Structures are given as C-alpha cells and as structure tokens.
Amino acid sequence: MKSMTGYGLSKISADGLTIEVEIRSWNHKGLDIQFRLPDSCNSMEQELRTLIADTAMRGKIICSIHLKGTFPGRKMLFNEDFIRELITHFKKIAEENKIQPVISISDLKEIPGALEVEEEIDETLLKKITDVLKNSFESWDSARIQEGKKMESAINLLLEELEKAVDAVSSRRKPAVEELRTRLSKRLCELIEAHKTKFEANRLEAEVAMLAEKMDIEEEIVRLKSHILTMKKLIESDKNKSIGQEIGFILQEALREVNTIGSKCQDLEITQAVIHSKTAIDRMRELNANVV
C-alpha cells in the first residue's frame, strides 16, 4: 500500500551551478502530473511523465527542476538598444517632473524584454540532471511507501474493530430474532384478545414467522464477513498495486450492508454494534482517500 502524499528533494552543487529537483504529490481522484521545467529541459518531459506514471497510478504530482547559477551553455543577452531607449525615457520623465532619476541594473533586468537567457544543455549536464532526478524520485517514492505503511497499519486496526462489531452482531442475531418472535406473538395475542377476534394458532405463528424472517440479518452478516476477508487479501497483495479504488468500492458495499442491518433490526446491542461498524468504516474511507 502506497500513499498518494509524498515529497522528494535532491540537489547537487558544483562549478558554480546548483541542480535542484523537487517532486511533491497529494491525493487526487485520477492521475494528474504537472511539470515546471526550464525551457532547455522540456525535451525530458515525456521521459519524466512515463517514469512517474509507472509508479504513481493516482494522485496529483508536481515535478520541478531548477538550474541555479552558470554553466557553459547558459548565456544572458541584454537588449542594449531597448535598454538605452528605456533609460532615455526615464531621464526625460525625471526632468519633466524635476526628480532625480535612480536607475539600476537590477531595475532594468526585471523589465520584460530587457534580458533574455539562452540555455543549451549538453550530454554531461543532462546526465547530472537525470541523476539528481532519480535521487529525488527515490526519496519521493520512499516517503509514499512509509506513509502507506502507517495507513495500512491504521486500516488493519479498523478492520479488526469492524470484524469484532460484525461478530457481536452475528452472536446476537439468533437471540434477537427469538426475542422479536416472542414480542410479536405476545403483541398479536394482546390485540386479538382486546378486539375479541378469533385467530387460528397456526396462522398466528405463520404471521409471526414471516415478520421475523423479514427482519433477519443473516445474509447481511455473511456479505459483511466476505467484504472484510476480501479487504484483508487485497491489502496483503502486491504492495505496488493500485488498490485505493477497490478498497473504496468494498467499503461502500460494507456500509450498505451495515445500514441495512441497522434498518432491519432494532435490538439495542445490535444497534450499538452497527454504530461501531459505521464509525470504523467512515474512518477507513477517510484514510483510503489517500491510498494509491
């Protein structure tokens, strides 16, 4: 089990250049990969997308590459004619308004069109970027695995709570049905006596049995136990498999069975077990929202 949330950062510095690669991700219904790359690294995007998609499967992921400093293929080009024209206009405005012009290179380079950066990445630099990327990727994936272990442990504990609640419902099912049968028989007898109505004993028993059968929850218990077993096998399966959507579906079906039990049976002990079951399922669904 892996989490959709993860963070990886790797960087190296040498010969006046720092290469920094950052990968961050969080939960998302599908797979959404975004890149923030220097223009010179755009050719790497498809390779990066394939690398991440093979292990991510779900989640929103942003991969950023930063090149800070200088390297042989990086050139800064000042648009001198444009800058001279800017300075002339600045001075003219200053004279007209009788103010002292203060113009610095820092001011000028922030003006669009004043400074352009050209970058050409050779094979040596490309290999360095790739190495940093791999380190960041491994760090990011490791973070997702560690977070996934915590989530797996928490979900397994909640599964145990759900299983105990279902066992409590199962052990209480027959006594609850018998008590229901007794109450119904008694109530029907009271109604017959109150209204001086003749009613055959066999017919009375058949009516009580039919009502008790409608309120029986054996099928729901069987299906709930099956869902719990399926969940356990799924969690124990291939750790690199995307199981979040499958778990979500199973939890949805389990909640449906629990709700049916709650609506069918008004026994106090079963109602309490139903509340515990719904609480455990809701908490598992919250955790599962971040499972790959």
- Would you state the torsion angle of the CA atoms of residues 76, 80, 84, 87, taken in this order, to the nearest 10 degrees? 0
Asked whether residue 171 is assigned to any structural domain, the reply reads: no
Asked whether residue 64 is assigned to any structural domain, the reply reads: yes
Say whether both 34 and 128 belong to one domain. Answer: yes
Asked whether residue 246 is assigned to any structural domain, the reply reads: no
Are 36 and 63 within 8 A, CB to CB? yes
Per-residue tens of pLDDT for the chain, all 292 residues: 899 999 999 999 988 889 999 999 999 988 999 999 887 788 888 888 888 888 888 899 999 999 888 777 666 667 788 888 878 888 888 888 888 877 777 777 777 877 676 677 778 888 888 899 889 999 999 999 999 999 999 999 999 999 999 999 999 988 987 887 788 778 777 877 777 666 666 666 776 677 777 778 999 999 999 999 999 999 988 666 789 999 999 999 999 999 999 998 888 999 999 999 999 999 999 999 999 8
Query: What is the chain written as a DSSP string?
Result: --BS-EEEEEEEEETTEEEEEEEEEE--SSEEEEEE--GGGGGGHHHHHHHHHHHH-SEEEEEEEEEEE--TTEEEEE-HHHHHHHHHHHHHHHHHTT------HHHHHTSTTTEEEEE---HHHHHHHHHHHHHHHHHHHHHHHHHHHHHHHHHHHHHHHHHHHHHHHHHHHHHHHHHHHHHHHHHHHHHHHHTT----HHHHHHHHHHHHHHT--HHHHHHHHHHHHHHHHHHHS-TTS--HHHHHHHHHHHHHHHHHHHHH---HHHHHHHHHHHHHHHHHHHHHTTB-
Are 163 and 278 within 8 A, CB to CB? no
Say whether both 110 and 132 belong to one domain. Answer: no
Q: Which two tokens stand for residue 240?
A: 């690199």
Q: What per-residue confidence (pLDDT) applies to 76?
A: 67
Say whether both 17 and 107 belong to one domain. Answer: no
Say whether both 133 and 62 belong to one domain. Answer: yes
Asked whether residue 244 is assigned to any structural domain, the reply reads: no
Say whether both 32 and 132 belong to one domain. Answer: yes
Any idea what the CATH number is for the domain that residue 60 is in?
3.30.230
Q: Which two tokens stand for residue 21?
A: 């690669």
Residue 1 CA, chain-centre distance (Å), reads 12
Say whether both 15 and 112 belong to one domain. Answer: no
Asked whether residue 174 is assigned to any structural domain, the reply reads: no
Say whether both 67 and 126 belong to one domain. Answer: yes
Say whether both 113 and 128 belong to one domain. Answer: no
Q: What per-residue confidence (pLDDT) applies to 197?
A: 66
Say whether both 67 and 89 belong to one domain. Answer: no
The whole domain housing 88 covers: 74-117
Say whether both 34 and 131 belong to one domain. Answer: yes
Select from 10, 147, 139 the least CA-distant residue to 65: 10
Asked whether residue 261 is assigned to any structural domain, the reply reads: no
- Domain total in the chain: 2
pTM of the model: 0.74
Asked whether residue 17 is assigned to any structural domain, the reply reads: yes
Say whether both 38 and 102 belong to one domain. Answer: no
Say whether both 35 and 130 belong to one domain. Answer: yes
Asked whether residue 216 is assigned to any structural domain, the reply reads: no
Q: What per-residue confidence (pLDDT) applies to 79?
A: 78
